[in-house]
Structure formats: structure tokens, C-alpha cells
């Protein structure tokens, strides 16, 4: 939620889970069931496995594998014509990185040149 700058109400709206239920989960009073976790994964556009891992229902994975899993999930959600564009963009980013034209922080790209 923090990376997306979402409040609890926004997650509730996008997932269809009540704001009070989300509050109870975040405060540790309650756990979410499978259907609610699936709704959250759809709201975040993330693979369900990542959400289930965050909830402690699946064993953790190294962070680099989680990023690749998220990228693959988003790629698979794209229309075929946009999948090609996504690959072109990744190639562009790699070229820029090799040239040292920018650096990437966790949440944004910063030009350095």
C-alpha cells in the first residue's frame, strides 16, 4: 500500500474487502481467508503466491525471484501487442543502464545525465 500511496480505504475499494476488515488485519486482530487474499492480489495486480507468502501461508522466496514473478505476472496480463512493447521497454532500460544514463531507486527512476 505504501509504494502505491494507497490508504486502507483505497485497498478496500479496489479489493472489495471492507475497510474495517482491512484495519483488523493490519492491526493483527484477524487473518484473511483465501478469497480475500485473492481479491487483494487482483487489486495489487500481483501473483497470488506473493500475497499468500506475505500472509505467511507459503514459504518465503528470495526477493529477486519475487520481482521476476511479479514482472512475469504483469507481462501475462498484458494484451499480446503490449507484451512486445514491454520487452522493448526492458531492452531500452538495459541499454540506458549500461550507458549509466540513469539509476533506479525502489520506487522511481532518476536521470543522472
User: Residues 99, 75: one domain?
Assistant: yes
8 Å CB contact between 2 and 9: no
pTM of the model: 0.59
Tell me, yes or no, whether 97 and 67 share the same domain.
yes
pLDDT tens for each residue of 35-74: 999 999 999 988 898 899 888 899 887 777 888 888 999 9
Strand partners of residue 110:
103
* Residue 55 to residue 57: CA distance in whole angstroms: 6
Residue 48 included in any domain: yes
Kindly state whether residues 69 and 50 are assigned to the same domain.
no
- Stretch (H or E) spanning 103: strand 102-104
Residue 43 inside a domain? The answer is: yes
Number of domains present in the structure of the chain: 2
Average pLDDT over residues 68-92: 92
| Residues contacting residue 104 through CB under 8 Å, at least 6 positions apart | 97, 110
Q: In this structure, is residue 19 part of a structural domain?
A: yes
Q: Is 1 a domain residue? A: no
Which residue range is the domain that position 81 belongs to?
63-111
| pLDDT tens, residue by residue, 14-31 | 999 999 999 988 888 888
Measured distance CA(12)–CA(51) in Å, rounded: 15
| Residue 71 CB coordination number (10 Å) | 12
Other residues' Cβ atoms within 10 Å of the Cβ of residue 33: 10
**Angstrom distance (rounded) from CA 45 to CA 79:** 15
Q: Is the same domain home to 74 and 104?
A: yes
Question: Are the C-beta atoms of residues 51 and 40 closer than 8 Å to each other?
Answer: yes
The answer on 67 and 48 residing in a single domain is: no
Amino acid at each position: 500500500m505504501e509504494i502505491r500511496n494507497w490508504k486502507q480505504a483505497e485497498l478496500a475499494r479496489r479489493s472489495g474487502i471492507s475497510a474495517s476488515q482491512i484495519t483488523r488485519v493490519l492491526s493483527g486482530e484477524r487473518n484473511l481467508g483465501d478469497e480475500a487474499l485473492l481479491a487483494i492480489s487482483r487489486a495489487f495486480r500481483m501473483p497470488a503466491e506473493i500475497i499468500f507468502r506475505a500472509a505467511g501461508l507459503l514459504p518465503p522466496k528470495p526477493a529477486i525471484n519475487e520481482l521476476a514473478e511479479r514482472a512475469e505476472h504483469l507481462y501475462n496480463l498484458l494484451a499480446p501487442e503490449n507484451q512486445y512493447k514491454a520487452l522493448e521497454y526492458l531492452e531500452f532500460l538495459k541499454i540506458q543502464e549500461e550507458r549509466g544514463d540513469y539509476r533506479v531507486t525502489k520506487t522511481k527512476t532518476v536521470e543522472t545525465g
